[in-house]
Structure 1
């Protein structure tokens, strides 16, 4: 069976993936699968920079607004959903395109994880859940410095998963992620969009200000009053900082600065992940030739595959 070609447009937050992806999708008759762990949630629109119906320009988009904020979504579930969608899109003669910045989600689709069969120890997990995020992350840093560089201290669920794998296998969690085998179903073309650090950080800061102007405060407050403080959806950047403001622990100005700082740190971690774990063709955003360069990369990758409806 021939492998299905899949284009993947990735990159750090605020770099401009959404606008470019729509232009590419229209050119190559593609359907977009969101590779963003937060855009699956209904009601989290402004804070996740979710694409609007108008911005889609009639390009079909998948895995957006499929869950309530109280529900959990995992890399395993994303892989299952994305694999089904890729087959469906390809069978209808269109090009599957994944667009997003959640590295683990995107990677899960194309690589076979060695730790996939590791079973959790419920008693050990319960013990870990009783500890603070800082304690857990410092323990991970001690046991597996490489993993601590790509897993955020606030991502308690992910830190616990890593510690669980270490406890069960007696091996670093990072060892299971760096020895990956490309799967047999798909042939991916990873295109990375990036900007010089100063420009990217400026765009991140501007995006946070714009989100607040568009009504992020009201969106976060509505989520806050749903009393979902432990739900995965509420741990996203933009929401967790404003929750501290609603609780009186930060001023709005302090929360805003925390959002900008956390977003910049997140972008740095995204770039580290993509550069270390995927064979990416990088393209600089905001250049006159950005679109044409991306098109040329895709054309060479596809070699105008006659199964697709160009």
Structure 2
């Protein structure tokens, strides 16, 4: 028998955390983070990580597991989620996976193995050197030419993933997309995907407000602490919410520009998230507004409870 999992997905700032707490309280659930950056210690404000006092006594998993200098992949996440689901269900509790990192969530909830693609360290170093000399955008354009589908999944500034995808093609003669298509992607769990969506203007307003609140809560101080600790060149610091402040800390841009860039990048990310979830996962979508959360959450709970009774 497949285990039952609830997955709460959607764009940033739409209300996923609030819904997950509400559902966990009524369904005897425990929450698993579905955010690839919340595994890092010290990266709290910029990742909108839930605070202990906001958890309302609900156990949360896969938070604060790594230092910012450590690598964390979708394969690592898959293994951690599977182990956590086993532990939660053994306690007769319901696993509720919540977050916006689509590729990580898909990897965790579908039963397929990550392809053992050979890595050419020498070619990787050459590409890294090219990126330093010519800029990552040039490497990204080459990836777009040979593997456009993979390029759409990767942010142009994600150096590690851009270089890895191009290196796979150049050293194996087969794109990363082709490698992935050879895998069977079968649902590992009875997963009910719940998605929150919001009218774009309202969502963008929520995002802008969230960034302003993050600044009030000390986001700049958080990024500065990480920067001074020597993490500025790590993969973790290339995340939205952190990378925007590096030029400011280096004296190349003013703070206002950094904040506006963060708002813009967050809005663009929300749009990409929504598109990805729409196209990649069987999500049941629920439109929501900031004013009607309580009423809509109750309706979602009733729908889920009805489905769970039928299983």
Name the structure 1 match of 2:62.
63
Aligned to 2:103: 104
Contact 2:75 2:114 in 1 (8 A): no
Q: What are the superposed Cα offsets for residues 19-52 of structure 1, whole Å, 9 maximum, x if unpaired?
A: 1110001110111010111111111111111101
Q: TM-score, normalised by structure 1?
A: 0.92
Aligned to 2:214: 211
Per the alignment, in what secondary structure is the counterpart of residue 67 of structure 1? Answer: coil
8 Å contact from structure 1 (residues 32, 61) kept in 2: yes
- CA contact 1:112–1:180 (8 Å) conserved in 2: no
Q: Specify the alignment match of 1:85 in structure 2.
A: 84
SS in structure 1 of the partner of residue 241 of structure 2:
coil
Query: Counterpart of 2:129?
Result: 130
Q: CA deviation at 1:179?
A: 6.8
Question: Which string of whole-angstrom CA distances, capped at 9 and with x for unpartnered residues, describes residues 180-237 of structure 1?
Answer: 6444641211111111111111111111111111111111111110111221221111
Match of 2:307 among 292, 297, 301: 301
- 1:237-252 superposed matches below 5 A: 237-252=240-255
Q: From 192, 201, 208, give the equivalent of 1:189.
A: 192
286-295 vs 79-88, which moves further? 286-295
User: Is the deviation greater in 128-137 or in 291-300?
Assistant: 291-300
Distance in structure 1 (CA, Å) of the matches to 2:69 and 2:109 = 28
Note the 1:22-171 alignment, pairs <5 A. Answer: 22-113=21-112, 116-132=115-131, 133-171=136-174
Q: CA deviation at 1:178?
A: 6.0
Q: Distance in 2 between the 1:177 and 1:15 partners?
A: 30
Aligned 8 A contact 2:115 2:179 in 1: no
Q: Tell me the number of residue pairs that the alignment of Structure 1 and Structure 2 aligns.
A: 304
RMSD of aligned residue pairs (Cα, Å): 1.9
1:112, 1:164 → 2: CA distance?
26
Determine if contact 1:149/1:269 at 8 Å carries over to the other structure. Answer: no
Structure 2 residues not aligned, in runs of 5+: none
Alpha carbons of 1:213 and 1:157: their partners in 2 closer, same or farther (altered >3 Å)?
Answer: same
Please give the per-residue CA displacement for 1:89-127, whole angstroms capped at 9, x wherever unaligned.
111101011101111110111224575222222222222
| Mapped contact 1:178–1:277 kept (Cα < 8 A) | no
Q: Residues 44 and 198 (structure 1 numbering): CA distance in 2 closer, same or farther, change over 3 Å?
A: same
Separation (CA, whole Å) in 2 of partners of 1:48 and 1:62: 15
The list of structure 1 runs, each at least 4 consecutive aligned residues, that deviate by more than 6 angstroms after superposition, is: none
Instruction: Say if 1:22 and 1:179 are closer, same or farther in 2 by CA, change over 3 A.
Output: farther
Question: What is the CA-CA distance between 1:78 and the residue it aligns to?
Answer: 0.6
CA contact 2:33–2:98 (8 Å) conserved in 1? yes
Hey, what does 2:288 align to over in structure 1? Answer: 285
Cα distance change on mapping 1:179 and 1:260 into 2, 3 Å = farther
| Most deviating of 198-207 and 181-190 | 181-190
Q: Assess, with a 3 A threshold, how the Cα gap between structure 1 residues 177 and 206 changes in structure 2: closer, same or farther.
A: farther
User: Greater CA deviation, 139-148 or 16-25?
Assistant: 139-148
Equivalent-residue separation in structure 1 for 2:113 and 2:32 (angstroms): 25
TM-score by length of 2: 0.92
d(CA) in 1 for partners of 2:243, 2:96? 30
Could you report, residue by residue, the CA deviation over 1:223-272 in whole angstroms, capped at 9, with x for unpaired residues? Answer: 11011122122111121111110101111011011101111111111112
